[in-house]
DNA sequence: CATGATTTTGGTTATATTACCAAATAGCCA
DNA sequence: TGGCTATTTGGTAATATAACCAAAATCATG
């Protein structure tokens, strides 16, 4: 593999990693519905605020979401809506796995 | 977040994690072109055979690829072609990031 | 300015991931 | 069978992730 390809795959994997966590998938799906502040997300997720804040940082850093401060609140929005298209494929994989499991019953 | 949602997001993230590594992205892209045996992939990747084998296991376990043994070789194929659609979105994110970087020069 | 609310940052610990080496396994063929 | 090739599995060490708590930073408001 060429060095330039390695860099490309590293950059790509950084973005995919930014989605590869249950909490971050939830955030992506939730922000797909509209903007949310950290406290709203924290309430829904049920983790420490600092934990949620760090998840948001990872996603923002990857370029998936963006934020805007209004008052004391930080509002996050989904910048790259296309990541929502991941879900349909992922669910296809899950369905296929489930169907295959059934064959062995 | 409900318990059942948590399980769903965990299952989804397991699949996305199976793609969230440079080597595994390479494998996905390569298998998108056709079946490959472990030794072919190992040659292209330039890592230990056991390392590549473990990457393949993770992807197979996630339901993304499947394999078939012929002789002493194990041939892997991309089972869920839809994962290739991830790339287009990921590249959009990368392009947008690159474009934004340029603004600050 | 002091207070309270929201968010981020720093620090620590626990867990997960990854790479490599060595050894085991499986299949082919002389 | 014995040896050769391809692949997987087990073990270990290094690194990366992730959770929580505490503390700092930011902003509105009395």
The series of mean pLDDT values per 10 residues for chain B, 105 residues long, is 89 98 98 98 97 98 98 98 96 95 76
Residue A63: phi and psi, rounded to 5, are 90, 15
Q: What is the pLDDT of residue B4?
A: 84
**Chain B contact set for A80 (CB, 8 A):** 89, 92-93, 96
Q: In what helix (H) or strand (E) does residue B66 lie, and over which residues does it extend?
A: strand B65-70
Dist CA B87 CA B65 (whole Å): 16
Burial letters B42-64, b for 16+ CB under 10 A, else e? beebeeeeeebeebbebbeebbb
**Chain A contact set for B62 (CB, 8 A):** 93
Model confidence at A80, in pLDDT bands (50, 70, 90)?
very high
Q: In the sheet that A36-37 helps form, which strands lie side by side, from edge to edge?
A: A36-37, A73-78, A65-70
Question: Per-residue pLDDT for A82 more than 80?
Answer: yes
A43-61 pLDDT, tens digit each: 999 999 999 999 999 999 9
Burial class (CB in 10 A: 0-12, 13-18, 19+), A101: exposed
- A48 Cβ nearer than 7 Å to chain D strand: yes
A92/B80 CB distance under 8 A: yes
Dist CA B68 CA B91 (whole Å): 31
Q: What is the pLDDT of residue B2?
A: 78
Burial letters A13-50, b for 16+ CB under 10 A, else e? bbbbbbbbbbbbbbbbbbbeeebbbbeebbeebeeeee
Q: What is the pLDDT of residue A105?
A: 63
User: Which positions on chain C have an atom < 7 Å from some protein CB?
Assistant: 4-11, 17-23, 26-28
A60 C-beta neighbours (distance < 10 Å), count: 15
Lowest mean pLDDT among A2-16, A35-49, B57-71: A2-16
B40 contacts B26 by C-beta, under 8 angstroms: no
Dist CA B79 CA B66 (whole Å): 6
Question: Per-residue pLDDT for A2 more than 80?
Answer: no
Residue of A20, A87, A88 with shortest CB distance to B17: A20
- All structural domains of chain A: 3-103 (1.10.10.10)
Chains A, B: CB pairs < 8 Å: 112
Question: Per-residue pLDDT for A25 more than 80?
Answer: yes
B31 contacts B78 by C-beta, under 8 angstroms: yes
Question: Per-residue pLDDT for A77 more than 80?
Answer: yes
- In eight-state DSSP terms, residue A46 is T
B23 contacts A35 by C-beta, under 8 angstroms: no
């Amino acid at each position: 593999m060429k060095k330039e390809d390695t860099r490309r795959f590293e950059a790509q994997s950084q973005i995919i990693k930014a989605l590869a966590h249950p909490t971050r998938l939830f955030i992506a799906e939730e922000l797909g519905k509209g903007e949310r502040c950290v406290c709203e997300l924290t309430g829904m997720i049920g983790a420490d605020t600092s934990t949620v804040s760090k998840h948001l940082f990872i996603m923002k850093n990857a370029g998936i979401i963006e934020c805007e401060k209004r008052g004391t609140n930080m509002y996050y929005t989904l910048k790259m809506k296309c990541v929502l298209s991941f879900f349909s494929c992922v669910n296809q994989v899950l369905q296929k796995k489930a169907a295959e499991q059934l064959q062995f019953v």
